[in-house]
Amino acid sequence: MFAIVCKSDGFPVSRQVGNGQPDLVVTWTSEAAAKSFLSVKGIESDYQVVALTDDSLNRMAQALGCPADAIGFDAYPGK
């Protein structure tokens, strides 16, 4: 699984759920699909694709201001 994070602050691309629920980090099943998303949006210079590892989850948690085990995920819709 892969996520996209902002290069400047490490904040992940996420989806708002509402009703006081924390945002869900959007994931892609492949690095190529995540890179394609960046390319289509024209934001490759500001964002990067990261594999979901303990280290990347800890960095996202720090950017989000929550524990890593509190991060929820939402798969990006495939075609």
Strands 14-15 and 24-27: antiparallel
What dihedral angle (degrees, nearest 10) is formed by the CA atoms of 28, 29, 30, 36?
-40
Q: How far apart are CA 6 and CA 77, in angstroms?
A: 20
User: What local confidence, expressed as pLDDT, does residue 51 receive?
Assistant: 98
For residue 64, CA distances in Å to 29, 50, 77, 78 come to 22, 16, 23, 26
User: What local confidence, expressed as pLDDT, does residue 79 receive?
Assistant: 58
Which residue ranges in the chain fall short of pLDDT 70?
79
The whole-model pTM stands at: 0.89
User: What local confidence, expressed as pLDDT, does residue 19 receive?
Assistant: 83
User: What's the mean per-residue pLDDT of the chain?
Assistant: 92
Backbone torsions φ then ψ of 8, nearest 5 degrees: -75, -35
